């Protein structure tokens, strides 16, 4: 299993000091977080995509990905969201393939529709067409990464005639795609249809809802002949805040929780922690809670933690990453490896995808594998 952290790049006042970081500070903090994540041995750093305040998460994530690729050597660079609805699929095909070359293959992406309604008209789109946009745009992106001289006609963009996206994906192997959704079964169906991964960023949802979404994806993955339900590729979100004394963790994190733009003023910290994956406590409590996710998600491939939101200062965030890398993830790796049944798939990497392509095992949209087509 891969373990990592993700950032949505929010600019939020620190509720304990009132200080608001500058855009420059917040942008450079994301770089520092990614480098620290690699330093302590985490597997993935992922970033959101936003076009509006109060966020500085990149409007074009491949820019940050390329920058990070030059300053790291091992960590996988991903997105917490690539906006498939408001970003033209031709630009996605070109930009992410270019970043993939610069990163020597250490690139994948999570497609999503986003949660900011005004973005749609800014890019000439209608939020009411969010699902059809996601379906059609990915159908085109999928072809652009696998075919040359593409002829295309659809509902949402101008037609293409004999178009070849450049550069071609590294080794002719496209970046792995996770389809991210919190509540839309259509997106779980889309992930299953293509044999791609499904990422349920369940940071605001109870385990019953998350379990139903993952069960749907797994069953449809098997329906399309890509493998068994247990071989489907699943990722989960999560949130943690740790201190070596659980009471210290709760006391320190509470003001950040209570005033966070995304959930401040809603359920109490205790209620929210009981209903969602948020874990505020000791490293041991985080380990125990994270291991419990497999009770409703099955044996899955990627676990990402939101670590730097709600105005937390960079020093605190880096301390959290140190604790993850030194005390939490090594134990999780051992426990996951010991509990996973034989045959549980590993998280996809460029190397594993290249090997799968060489062996003729690429999934065929809507049914089976390339060697059976």
pLDDT digits (tens, 9 = 90+) for 220-229: 999 999 999 9
85: its two tokens: 């609805």
Cα-Cα-Cα-Cα torsion 93, 98, 103, 109, nearest 10 degrees, comes to -20
Phi/psi at 344 (nearest 5 deg)?
A: -65, 125
pLDDT on residue 52: 78
Q: What is the mean pLDDT of residues 303-312?
A: 94
pLDDT on residue 115: 65
Q: What is the mean pLDDT of residues 330-344?
A: 95
Q: What is the mean pLDDT of residues 206-215?
A: 93
What is the DSSP pairing of strand 160-163 with strand 176-180?
Answer: unpaired
pLDDT at 76 over 70: yes
Residue 268 and residue 53: Cα distance in Å, rounded?
Answer: 26
pLDDT on residue 214: 97
pLDDT at 204 over 70: yes
Q: What is the mean pLDDT of residues 69-83?
A: 96
pLDDT at 153 over 70: yes
What is the DSSP pairing of strand 197-200 with strand 76-79?
Answer: unpaired
Beta strand residue intervals within the chain, DSSP E: 2-7, 44-47, 76-79, 82-83, 108-112, 150-152, 160-163, 176-180, 197-200, 234-236, 240-242, 279-281, 302-306
Residue 70 and residue 101: Cα distance in Å, rounded?
Answer: 11
Q: What is the mean pLDDT of residues 333-339?
A: 96
Residue 273 and residue 207: Cα distance in Å, rounded?
Answer: 12
pLDDT at 372 over 80: no
Q: What is the mean pLDDT of residues 162-188?
A: 95
36: its two tokens: 């620290």
Closest-CA residue to 180 (of 221, 134, 219)? 134
18 Ramachandran zone, left/alpha/beta (phi>0; psi -120 to 50): left
Phi/psi at 199 (nearest 5 deg)?
A: -110, 115
- Give the percent of the chain with pLDDT over 90: 82
Q: What is the mean pLDDT of residues 307-318?
A: 95
∠47-51-56 over CA atoms, to 5°?
A: 50
pLDDT at 79 over 90: yes
Q: State the pLDDT confidence band at 124, using cuts at 50, 70 and 90.
A: confident
pLDDT at 353 over 60: yes
Does 167 sit behind a cis peptide bond, omega within 30 degrees of 0 on the bond before it? yes
Q: State the pLDDT confidence band at 373, using cuts at 50, 70 and 90.
A: very low
Cα-Cα-Cα-Cα torsion 344, 43, 361, 211, nearest 10 degrees, comes to 50
Q: What is the mean pLDDT of residues 162-189?
A: 95
Instruction: Convert 343-364 to b/e letters by CB count within 10 Å (16 or more is b).
Output: ebbebbbbeebeebeeeebbbb
Please provide the average confidence, as pLDDT, over all residues in the chain: 93
Contact between 23 and 60 (Cβ < 8 Å): no
In whole angstroms, how large is the CA radius of gyration of the chain? 20
Q: State the pLDDT confidence band at 322, using cuts at 50, 70 and 90.
A: very high
134: its two tokens: 């996601």
pLDDT on residue 1: 95
Residue 165 and residue 147: Cα distance in Å, rounded?
Answer: 9
Contact between 304 and 238 (Cβ < 8 Å): yes
Residue 119 and residue 124: Cα distance in Å, rounded?
Answer: 9
pLDDT on residue 30: 95
């Amino acid at each position: 299993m891969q373990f990592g952290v993700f950032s949505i790049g929010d600019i939020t006042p620190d509720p304990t000091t009132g200080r608001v970081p500058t855009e420059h500070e917040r942008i450079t903090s994301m770089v520092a977080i990614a480098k620290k994540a690699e330093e302590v041995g985490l597997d993935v750093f992922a970033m959101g995509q936003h076009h509006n305040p109060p966020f500085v998460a990149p409007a074009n994530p491949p820019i940050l990905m390329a920058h990070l690729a030059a300053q790291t050597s091992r960590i996988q660079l991903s997105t917490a969201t690539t906006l498939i609805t408001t970003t033209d699929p031709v630009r996605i095909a070109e930009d992410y393939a270019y970043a993939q070359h610069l990163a020597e293959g250490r690139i994948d992406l999570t497609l999503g529709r986003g949660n900011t309604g005004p973005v749609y008209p800014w890019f000439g789109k209608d939020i009411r067409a969010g699902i059809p946009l996601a379906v059609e745009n990915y159908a085109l992106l999928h072809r652009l990464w696998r075919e040359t001289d593409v002829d295309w006609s659809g509902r949402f963009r101008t037609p293409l005639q004999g178009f070849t996206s450049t550069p071609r994906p590294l080794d002719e192997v496209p970046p792995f795609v996770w389809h991210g959704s919190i509540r839309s079964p259509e997106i779980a169906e889309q992930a299953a249809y293509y044999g791609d991964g499904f990422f349920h960023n369940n940071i605001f949802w109870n385990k019953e809802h998350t379990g139903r979404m993952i069960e749907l994806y797994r069953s449809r993955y098997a329906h399309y002949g890509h493998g068994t339900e247990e071989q489907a590729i699943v990722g989960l979100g999560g949130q943690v805040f740790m201190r070596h004394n659980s009471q210290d963790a709760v006391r320190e994190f509470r003001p950040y929780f209570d005033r966070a733009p995304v959930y401040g003023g809603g359920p109490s910290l205790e209620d929210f922690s009981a209903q969602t994956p948020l874990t505020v406590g000791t490293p041991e409590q985080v380990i125990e809670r994270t291991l419990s996710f497999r009770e409703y998600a099955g044996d899955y491939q990627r676990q990402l933690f939101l670590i730097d939101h709600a105005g937390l200062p960079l020093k605190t965030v880096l301390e959290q990453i140190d604790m993850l890398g030194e005390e939490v993830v090594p134990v999780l790796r051992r426990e996951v490896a010991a509990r996973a049944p034989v045959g549980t798939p590993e998280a996809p990497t460029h190397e594993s995808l290249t090997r799968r392509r060489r062996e003729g095992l690429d999934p065929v949209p809507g049914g089976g594998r390339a060697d059976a087509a």
